Chain A
Amino acid sequence: MADNIAIKVSNLTKRFKVYYDKGRSLKEVILFRNRNKHEVRTVLDDVSFDIKKGEAVGLIGHNGCGKSTLLKLISGILYPDGGSVDIEGRVSSLLELGAGFHPDMSGRENIYINASIFGLTKEEIESRLQTIIDFSELAGFIDNPVRTYSSGMYMRLAFSVAINVDADVLLIDEILAVGDANFQAKCFSKLQEIKEKGTTIVIVSHSLSQIENICDRSIWINEGKIRADGTPLAVHSEYLDFMNEQRQAAGGKALDIPPEYVAYMQERRYKENLKLSMIPEQQAAVEANGGQYRWGSGEVKITSITASGPDGVGKRLFEVGSDVYFKVHYHVEKPIKDAVFGIGFFRNSGENLYGTNTRIDGHPKFDITEDGEFTIIMRKIPLMPDQYTVSFSIEYGDGVPVDYWKDALKIDTYRQTPDVGGFFMEHNWDYEAKKEENDG
């Protein structure tokens, strides 16, 4: 096997016996011999591909196409009928969370059990115990029996163990939907971190956008064969077109549309719109950046953005007419001269609502030499209830982007009264009419 290959799949074939009506007991086997007829279905048919070290690959395809079987063959849960899978390094498969958890035992004890099932030694577990507990955010409950946990806590603990195994190859099957949105975001960034460390990742997921966000490559399995293999965006377009054709051929009914797909299409439309809202240079930057809506020369990088009310507590939902505080932290790789901070508001349809920067606002020139933060307070935001995308930028005075983050943050607005429209406009009524006397 070549040095830079992590997983080598060669001519892999897997067949399943599908019983029409399987009798498993002696009586059934003898009495109903005819019933034991089975059909041999080829789930994977002579599949070959290599995955490079450090590559993140998504496996896609409709239900029953063989993608999960492929993942199980790679992980060693199933054995092939033909061909082989060669893996370099330690494998961890996140196919099941919380394996071996005992409800009566404490969170801490269950970490040991669960991690030992992943093949960790005692020393290895002890060295990462604190990381696991911290990641799960369950420090106060870790010595309580897990039966007292909510299902969210349970999954958080389970995911924390699985994600901290430190394997060379990580196999994941549809498990990123764990816990609340915050925890999901955390899992997601942890995955990014793991990827950056050079771990090879293979993901099976229905969520194409998830794959697009993490993976460099997508493999589309259809009827046991590789139908397409390439960049996620290219493969997914082809896959979606194919699914569409299938649906039309079936009269639009036979295949039901999974909600992930709807969400994905919305996300895609949003990104298309976002693209339309940009000037050609920006569009080119997005393309050059592999579809990421963030580009720039990179001397200074935005590290985190918090939206909050005056109290400074981070939130995403704001009442129309309230003040919104955005605090932006940045990290300096190389000092820059004559910097400009910018902000922009977009509707999900891509429409640019408002944008400004420190130069436009007439601030004096300044340099950025070390890590820091800036705050911008948007007073009495007039945006009527909807979701909005906020972009942030750090630029040079001449408009060259240093870190231009188009879809940096999303905020939602709400309003108590049922007035309508896109913007709240401050107003006063003035009229003379006779008040109805109700209390007389």
Chain B
Amino acid sequence: MSRLKDIYEYRLMIRSLVKRDLRGKYKGSVLGFMWTFVNPLLQLLVYNMVFSIIMKAGVEKFYLYLFVGLIPWLFFSAAITGGSTCIIAQKDLIKKIRFPREIIPISFVTSQFVNMLLSFIVVIIVSVVSGVRLTIGGILCLPVIMIVEYLMALGIALISSSLTVYFRDLEHILAIVAMAWLYATPICYPVEMVPEKYLSIYNLNPVTPIVNAYRDVLYWGRTPDLRTLILAVCIGIVTVILGIIIFGKLQRRFAEEL
């Protein structure tokens, strides 16, 4: 509990680091902050060309189907891969200054999250332009889904960033895991394409209910299934608690291991 209080006292540090990260990211590039919007659009273009021209998935408005799932995924995958190295990247800070070290993964994930929120402006515009009729229930659920995803990403980043300090291979292993995870989640294809006998294993993927919920709101134009949503909330909370406990134990030797 005292750790949480400590983190709260350092809230300005989280804000400063997020701001520094967001502002510093595109410094010096011509488009600057516009890249936050251009980048997801270009990614969408590439995926759309591959999946609706070459590998047809047989889904109506596939570009939107893909886009709605892809943006949350990009955030999640950045939190896994980038999150694993965020402690190592800030080793000078950790070796020389005392602060609650949770701040580092929290601000990393938060800055990715803010990035996703900005991309969602594009997603919502594309969705409305494509003729999806958003329901009020759906729109109200959207922040909940986002927070759940944030909590899951944060929990994973807390665990992976602290483990990577002791075991550097994790960085590379997680890059592969993230790639595999993408294909184990119904992002580039509909769930219906998964053979029935594998479905029970397939549904264990905690990201699937999140992606489905996003799609319910922004692709199908309906209120997400409340049961899956509650399940996702539980998973999110458990991941974060687990992350905080593991991180709290492992951070004690950070300064000497880095």
Contact = CB atoms under 8 A, between A and B. Distances in A.
Interface residues on A, range: 20 to 34
A91 B98 contact: yes
A116 B23 contact: no
Nearest to A121: B12
Nearest to B94: A77
A116 to B, nearest CB: 4
Interface string B163-182: 00001110000000000000
Contacts of B13: 116-117, 119
Contact of B93 (A17, A99, A112, A125): A99
B168 A24 contact: yes
B228 interface: no
Interface in A84-120: 91, 93, 95-96, 99-100, 102, 104-105, 112-113, 116-120
A99 B15 contact: no
B99 interface: yes
B96 A96 contact: yes
Nearest to B252: A79
A353 interface: no
A122 B12 contact: yes
A410 interface: no
- Among B12, B92, B99, the most chain A Cβ lie within 10 Å of the Cβ of B12
Contact of A96 (B16, B97, B256): B97
A414 interface: no
B166 to A, nearest CB: 8
- Among A79, A93, A119, A121, the most chain B Cβ lie within 10 Å of the Cβ of A119
Contacts of A26: 167, 169
A116 B98 contact: no
B24 A102 contact: yes
A261 interface: no
A182 interface: no
A438 interface: no
A78 B255 contact: yes
A113 B98 contact: no
Contacts of B27: 104
A70 to B, nearest CB: 14
A77 B97 contact: yes
B96 A77 contact: yes
Interface of B: 9-13, 15-17, 20, 23-24, 27-28, 92-99, 167-169, 252-253, 255-256
30 contacts: A16-B256, A26-B167, A75-B98, A76-B98, A77-B95, A77-B96, A77-B97, A77-B98, A93-B97, A95-B96, A95-B97, A96-B93, A96-B97, A99-B96, A100-B93, A102-B24, A104-B28, A105-B20, A105-B23, A112-B12, A112-B16, A113-B17, A116-B10, A116-B12, A116-B13, A117-B93, A117-B99, A118-B97, A119-B13, A125-B12
Q: Which 5 pairs of residues, A with B, have the shortest CB-CB distance? A: A96-B96, A116-B12, A76-B98, A116-B13, A116-B16
